[in-house]
Structure 1
Amino acid sequence: MRVAVYYPWVYLRSGIERALIEIKRRSRHDIRIYTNHFDPGGTYPELAGMNVTELSRVSVERTYSAVTAAAMSILRTRLDSAEHDAVLVCCDGLGPLLTFANRRKPVVNLCFTPLRATYDDAYRDRLLAHGGPARPVKRAAETAFRLVDRMAWRNFDAVICIAETVRRRVADNRLFPESKIHLAYPGVEPGHAAPGDLSEPMFLLPGRIMWTKNIELAISGFRLFLKHAPPALQRFRLHIAGMVDAKSRPYLARLQHLAGGEERISFETMVSDDRMRALYAQAWAVLAPAFNEDFGLTPIEAMAHGRPVLACNRGGLRETVLDGVTGLLVEPEPAAFAAGLRRIAQDEVLARQLGAQGPARAATFTWPRFVETIDSVLDGVQHVQRISA
C-alpha cells in the first residue's frame, strides 16, 4: 500500500520526527513523508535522505497570527490522491485540518496528542495564566478551533494514540469513539551502558528545552537539594541537554537566570545522538519534570541505558516509569523533587537497583511493535470508500 504520511512541520529533533524515521524504515508499506515546513538542518539528519516532500511552506512561529495563517494553509493543502492509497496524519495539533481537502482515500490519525491548548486542562491553564489582556482573545480562538477541529476528527477512519494518557484525552473530549481507538507505544534503541553502572554524580535532564518540559522545577528542586545536602552530596551537578528552537530561546534565558550562576548547573544545546548516548552513560540518574507529558521517550531511553528515573507523577510518565522499580514518581513541587534527588543521590544501592530494572522495562517499548500496529491499522482501512472533499 502507498501511504502518504503527513506532519505539518518537520524541523526539530523531537519524538514525532523520530517516529517518522522509524515508520519510514520499518513499515511494510510504501511510505512517503509530506510536510508544510521541512528544515533538514534542524531535524534528525536521517530525514534528509528520506525524500521528504515540502508542500506550501508555513511558519513554525506560535503567535496567534502565525498559527492562524498556518491553519488556513493546511486547510487548503491537497495531496495528489493518485499517488497514495491512504493518508496517515501525525497529529499534535493542526494536522487533522488536512483531512478537509484529502478525503478521497482512507485517513488514519496517528495521535501524539490533540491540540493541548484546547484539550489538555493542565496545559491550557498554564497558557492562560500568562495570557494577560490577551486572555479573552485566546479563549475565543480556542472555541473557534475546537469547532473546526471536531469536524476534522470526523473525517478519520481510524485513530492510533501513542499512550493511554493521550487516548483518555481523545476519549474524554469525545473526539473519536473510545472503543475504536488503537494504542501504539513508541520505542527506543537498546542502551549501550551496563545496567546499574553508575558513572558520575550527575543528574541528567535530556530532551527539548521548552516550557512544557517544566525544567524550572528541576532547577528549583536541585538548588533546594544543594541547600540541604550534606558535604558528601555537594559533588552532584545538574546537566540540562537538548535542542532549543528559536521560539524557546527566551525560555532558555529564563532558565539560565533561575540557575543564578550556580556552577553545578550547566546547559548544552547542541547535542548529537552519539553525545546524548554518552551523557546517558555518564549520568547517575535521569530527570523528567514535565508537568503533563503525553508520553516521553527520554525516561525509556534512560531505562534502556540502565539509569534510574526521577519523574513527575503526572501524565504519560506514569505509563513508563514504575515507581520504586525503575525510578521514583514524585509530586511536581520543588520540595518533593529535591527529596527525590536526595534519596537517589545518597542511596547508591537503591540507585543501582532502580537502574538494573530499567533495561527489561524499556524492552517492552519497541519500534517494530509500534510500526507493526500502524501497519495493521492501515491494512484494516485500505478498502474503505471515501468521497472527495
Structure 2
Amino acid sequence: MPQLFTHLRQLFPRPAAREEIAIAHDYLTQKGGAERVVLAMHRAFPEAKIYTTLYEPEATFPEFADAEIVVSPLNRIGFFRRNHRYALPVLPLVSSALKVPARKTLVSSTGWAHGFNFAGKSFIYCHSPARWVYLADQYLGKNESSAMGYALKILLPLLKLWDQKVARRAGTYVANSTTIQQRIKDVYGRDVDIIFPPFSLQVDAAEAPVEGLEDFLDDGDYFLLVSRLMPYKNIDRVVEAFNLMGKKLLVIGAGPMEEELKNMAGPSVEFVANIADEQLRFAYAHCKALLAVSYEDFGLTPLEAGAYGKPTIALKAGGYLDTIRESINGVFIEKPTVENICSAVERFDPEAFDAGKIQDYVQSFSEERFIQKLRERISSL
C-alpha cells in the first residue's frame, strides 16, 4: 500500500512556483466557521488565489465571488459540488493532484487541503485532523449503519494511510484550539502552537429579519442555535428539550440531518438554512441566548453571539473551554442530555450578564489580531 502513494506522487510532480502567496482550503461547498476563516485569510492576503477541490457559489458565502478561485477537475461534476461527502473515495487522489504553484501557501485544512501538491512552503492552519478518519464513530453518529458508514469503514485504512503520509510531508502546522493542539499531537506526533480563529460578523452592519419568521422573532423571546446539522452536534437533544419545554428555538444551519430534525421538531422550533449575513446578525442581536452543546474543535458561535452582548449555554468540553468564561459570557452544562439542557434553560437568567463586558471579552478574538498573527507567521516562512 505505501508503494501506491509513492507511485501517485510520481504521477503528480511538484509544480514550479509562479505566485508569491496562495490560500488553500478543502472545499467551498457550505457556510461554516472554517469558510469564514478562509474569508479572513483572504482579507489578510487579498492578492492570493484560493485553491480548493470543489466550489459551489450558491452554497457558500457570497464574498468568495470577490476572490479568484482555482478548482480541481472534480468540480465539473455538479453532484459532488452539492454533496461533497460522497466524493470521499476519490478525494485523496484529487487532493494529491491539485497543484498550488506558489512560494508560500496558507492552508485551511479539515483533512484534505494539507495534502494538496504545493510548489513551495506551506503553513497549515488545522481546524482538525480528518474527523472522518480519527473520530469516525462521532462523525457518523446514527448513520454508522448506513451505506455511507459501511463505505467509510472499508476505506478507513486507506484514508488513514494517505493522511499520515501527507502530514509527514506537509509544512508547518498550527492548531485553532487547545483541543486540536492535543489531537495533532496524538495523531501526527507534532507539538504545535495555537492561533485562535476570529469571529468575523460585522456587528455594525445592516440587519434584516428572516423572511417568514418575523412574528416568531419579533418579541426576542427565542433561543438560538447555529450549527451544521451533523450527528455529533447533539441538535436532536436540543430540539427534544425545547419540545418538552415549549420554549422557542431558532436553528440556523444545513446538513444531512435536516429532514430528520424537522420531522421531530414541535411547533416552538423553527429551522432556516443558507441565510444572508444580515439575517444572521438579526438572529444574534435579538435572541435571549445561544445554545452550543456540540463537541466542537473551537467554540466560534459564542464569540459571534458575544459580539452582540448575548451569553451562551455551552457544553463544558472541547473548543468551548477556549471561548466561554462562566463569569463573563456564558454558563456550562456537564453533559449534552435533554435533562441538562432543560435544566440550564429553565434556570437561565439573561439579567445576570453584562452585555458590555461580553462584548469587551470577545474582542480578544478579533479578526485584526488573527490577521496580524497570520502575516507574521507567513513572513517568517
TM-score, normalised to structure 2's length? 0.82
Q: How does 1:276-291 map to 2 (within 5 A)?
A: 276-290=280-294
The equivalences for 1:297-336 within 5 A come to 297-330=300-333, 331-336=335-340
Q: What percent of counterpart residues are identical?
A: 22
Task: Output aligned runs, 1:348-363, within 5 Å.
Answer: 348-350=350-352, 353=353, 355-363=355-363
8 Å contact from structure 1 (residues 188, 365) kept in 2: no
Assess, with a 3 A threshold, how the Cα gap between structure 1 residues 130 and 14 changes in structure 2: closer, same or farther.
Answer: closer
Match of 1:25 among 16, 40, 43: 43
Once the 2 structures are TM-superposed, how far is the Cα of residue 327 of structure 1 from its aligned partner?
Answer: 0.9
**Alignment equivalent of 2:277, drawn from 251, 273, 280:** 273
AA aligned to 2:261 is: L
Aligned-partner SS, 1:42? coil
- Corresponding residue for 2:347? 343
Which of 171, 178, 198 is the aligned partner of 1:164?
178
- Summarize the Cα distance change of 1:41–1:377 in structure 2 as closer, same or farther, 3 Å threshold: same
Equivalent residue number for residue 134 of structure 2:
119
Structure 2 segments unaligned to the other structure (5+ residues): 1-18, 206-217
CA distance in 1, matches of 2:323, 2:203: 16
Which of 211, 217, 225 aligns to 2:245? It is: 225
Q: Assess, with a 3 A threshold, how the Cα gap between structure 1 residues 217 and 357 changes in structure 2: closer, same or farther.
A: farther
- In 2, are the aligned partners of 1:97 and 1:149 still within 8 Å (CA)? yes
- Which is bigger in relative contact order (C-alpha 8 A, separation at least 6)? 1
1:71 aligned partner: 92
Cα distance in 1 for partners of 2:241, 2:142 equals: 22
For 2:286 and 2:138, the matched residues in 1 are separated by: 37
- In structure 1, C-alpha distance between the alignment counterparts of 2:144 and 2:306, rounded to whole Å: 37
Inter-partner Cα distance in structure 1 for 2:22 and 2:106: 6
Tell me the alpha carbon deviations over residues 208-237 of structure 1, each in whole angstroms, 9 at most, x when there is no partner.
3333432112112222334xxxxxxxxx41
Distance 1:375-1:126 versus aligned 2 partners, 3 A rule: closer
Q: Please, which runs of 5 or more residues in structure 1 have no aligned partner?
A: 227-235, 382-389
Give 1:126 deviation, angstroms: 5.7
Q: Name the amino acid aligned to 1:131.
A: E
2: distance between equivalents of 1:267 and 1:136?
Answer: 30
Q: Which residue of 1 aligns with 2:145?
A: 132
Classify the secondary structure of the residue corresponding to 2:169.
Answer: coil
Give the TM-score taking structure 1 as reference length.
0.81
Written as runs of structure 1 = structure 2, the 5 A alignment for 1:248-263 is 248=256, 251-259=257-265, 262-263=266-267
Residue 53 of structure 1 corresponds to which residue in structure 2? 70
How far residue 182 of structure 1 moved from its aligned partner, in angstroms, is 4.1
| 3-state SS in 2 of match to 1:145 | helix
What CA deviation, in whole Å up to 9, does each residue of 1:313-332 have, x standing for no partner?
12101211112431111121
- Give the number of equivalent residue pairs: 344
Q: Is the 8 A contact 1:164 1:319 kept in 2?
A: yes
CA deviation profile, 1:3-39 (whole Å, cap 9, x unmatched): 1211131122111221122111123x84221112112
Cα RMSD after superposing both structures: 2.5
SS of 1:238 mapped into structure 2: strand
Q: Which residue of 1 aligns with 2:14?
A: none
Aligned partners of 1:263, 1:354: CA distance in 2, in Å? 31
Q: Describe the SS at the equivalent of 1:363.
A: helix
Residues 94-146 of structure 1 show CA distances to partners (whole Å, capped at 9, x for unaligned) of: 22221xx33x41112111111012223xx534627643386676344222222
